[in-house]
């Protein structure tokens, strides 16, 4: 594999999208060099459709210039990296064009709105990688130090053989039936609702933590609020509010995932539990600096979950931050993500999670949707 020669003394970065995810990614680009030794780069261009709003965002978030057409950006020689934070329906077109232009591409999850689009993106990524262009999907929760530590403990065999794992990702921002219509509630723009938006995180986690792959899925989807107020009266909601799924994985691991955007009182709660023959782990995103660990090899009278405060320099990513006892937050996961992507570009090593990993999650999402639509007891995840 040949690496693309550097076009500039520093890597030029362009980002598409300046709303919620654009703000989080901008914060990461702005701060990563202050804490990690990464290749030199410049925040060149921020792209958005509203000229006035994107100009304000570019100035606020540290980008050198605004632009309104991403197509003009991918042809520029001073742009080496495209960071795609646009809605899912735009991912495939932008990512494929950027990869074909020889740009490195980071794209937010889920990979695309449809399985067909995800397959096209992955094929483009494979071809581009042979020419030295790297690509990565942004499952930022892989970069939570506590979850990275959990993966290490499982890989080291501290849980013995993992038998089952469960994840529940619960939010309540749509619990109010009068919450207004947005692009996230239309299938043509969002692809799916809670399933693609937050269950995708949970699905990636159960596979990442165990090192196993989902092969079978049974799913149920529900839209509790079928109409919401829009700009011209009530509009139909065409995606799910909540999703439930059970899985079988390679290695004989059983798994379950629950996701909801109408779970009253839950703001951003991702809870993960893993149970093995020799131990167990639990995690809650609302206490993201903590990992609960039970060592079942101890005498029974000593059994019990113990709290690991994950902020020692020996823990993943934390050597760059504060003295032990000083916690970090949600936004740091994006800084870690940018750090890992830049190092992969520098070292010409495949980033993780790859577009292939994103495609695998997309296949699981499609299988859950198929199972829910057919009211089937089992759908095989096709690889």
- Residue pLDDT, tens place only, 123-137: 999 999 999 999 999
| Average pLDDT score over residue span 70-87 | 97
Sign of CA dihedral 185, 106, 355, 290: negative
Q: Which residues contact 211 (CB under 8 A, 6 or more apart)?
A: 151, 154, 155
In a domain, 338, yes or no: no
| Domain end residue (candidates: 80, 113, 141) | 141
Does residue 181 surpass a pLDDT of 80?
yes
Same-domain check for residues 180 and 156: yes
**Do 104 and 207 lie in a common domain?**
no
Domain span including residue 99:
11-141
Asked if 323 and 179 sit in the same domain, the reply is yes
Same-domain check for residues 206 and 63: no
pLDDT for res 203:
98
Write out pLDDT tens, residues 313-371. Answer: 999 999 999 999 999 999 999 999 999 999 999 999 999 999 999 999 999 999 999 99
Query: Closest Cα to residue 174, out of 245, 77, 83, 240?
Result: 240
pLDDT in tens, 238-290: 999 999 999 999 999 999 999 999 999 999 999 999 999 999 999 999 999 99
Claim to verify: residue 26 and residue 105 sit in the same structural domain: yes
CATH number of the domain encompassing residue 160: 3.30.360.10
Confirm whether 335 is domain-assigned: no
pLDDT above 80 for 3: no
Given a cut of 90, whether residue 381 has pLDDT beyond it is: no
Residues, the chain = 383
Nearest-angstrom CA–CA distance, 26 and 335: 9
Q: Is the pLDDT of residue 32 over 80?
A: yes
54 lies in a domain? yes
Residues whose CB falls within 8 Å of the CB of residue 60, separated by 6 or more in sequence, listed in order:
none
**pLDDT given for residue 8 in this prediction:** 59
What's the domain count of the chain?
2
Question: DSSP assignment, residue 344?
Answer: H
Average confidence (pLDDT) over 66-72: 97
Contact 121, 97 (CB under 8 A): no
Q: Please count the other Cβ atoms lying within 10 Å of the Cβ belonging to residue 111.
A: 33
CATH of the domain at 76: 3.40.50.720
User: Looking at residue 104, what is its pLDDT?
Assistant: 98
Amino acid 7: pLDDT: 54
Complete edge-to-edge strand list for the sheet that includes strand 214-222 = 306-309, 290-295, 279-284, 269-276, 162-170, 254-260, 242-249, 214-222, 379-380
Q: How confident is the model at residue 379 (pLDDT cuts 50, 70, 90)?
A: confident
Give the span between the Cα atoms of 346 and 3, in whole angstroms.
Answer: 9
% the chain with pLDDT above 70: 96
């Amino acid at each position: 594999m040949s690496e693309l020669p550097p076009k500039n003394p520093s890597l030029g970065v362009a980002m598409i999208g300046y709303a919620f995810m654009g703000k989080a990614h901008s914060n990461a680009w702005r701060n990563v060099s202050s804490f990690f030794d990464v290749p030199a780069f410049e925040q060149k261009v921020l792209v958005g459709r509203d000229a006035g709003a994107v100009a304000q965002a570019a100035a606020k978030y540290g980008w050198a210039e605004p632009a309104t057409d991403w197509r003009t950006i991918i042809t520029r020689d001073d742009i080496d990296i495209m960071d795609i934070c646009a809605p899912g329906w735009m991912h495939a077109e932008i990512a494929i064009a950027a990869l074909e232009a020889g740009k490195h591409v980071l794209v937010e999850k889920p990979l695309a709105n449809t399985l067909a689009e995800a397959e096209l993106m992955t094929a483009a990524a494979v071809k581009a990688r042979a020419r030295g262009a790297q690509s990565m999907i942004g499952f930022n929760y892989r970069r939570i130090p506590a979850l990275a530590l959990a993966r290490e403990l499982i890989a080291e065999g501290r849980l013995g053989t993992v038998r089952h794992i469960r994840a529940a990702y619960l939010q309540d921002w749509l619990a109010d039936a009068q919450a207004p219509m947005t692009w996230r509630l239309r299938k043509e723009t969002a692809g799916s609702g809670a399933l693609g938006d937050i269950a995708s995180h949970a699905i990636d986690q159960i596979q990442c933590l165990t090192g196993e792959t989902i092969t079978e899925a049974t799913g149920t989807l529900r839209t509790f609020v079928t109409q919401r107020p829009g700009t011209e009266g009530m509009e139909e909601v065409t995606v799910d509010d909540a999703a439930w799924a059970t899985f079988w994985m390679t290695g004989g691991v059983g798994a379950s995932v629950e996701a909801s955007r109408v779970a009253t009182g839950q703001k951003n709660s991702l809870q993960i539990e893993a149970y093995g023959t020799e131990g167990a782990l639990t995690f809650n995103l609302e206490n993201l600096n903590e990992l609960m660990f039970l060592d079942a090899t101890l005498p029974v009278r000593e059994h019990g979950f113990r709290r690991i405060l994950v902020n020692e320099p020996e823990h993943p990513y934390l050597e760059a931050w504060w003295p032990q006892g000083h916690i970090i937050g949600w936004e740091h996961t994006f800084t870690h993500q940018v750090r890992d992507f830049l190092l992969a570009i520098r070292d010409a090593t495949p980033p993780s999670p790859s577009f292939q990993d994103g495609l695998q999650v997309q296949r699981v999402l499609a299988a859950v949707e198929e199972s829910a639509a057919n009211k089937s007891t089992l759908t095989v995840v096709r690889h």
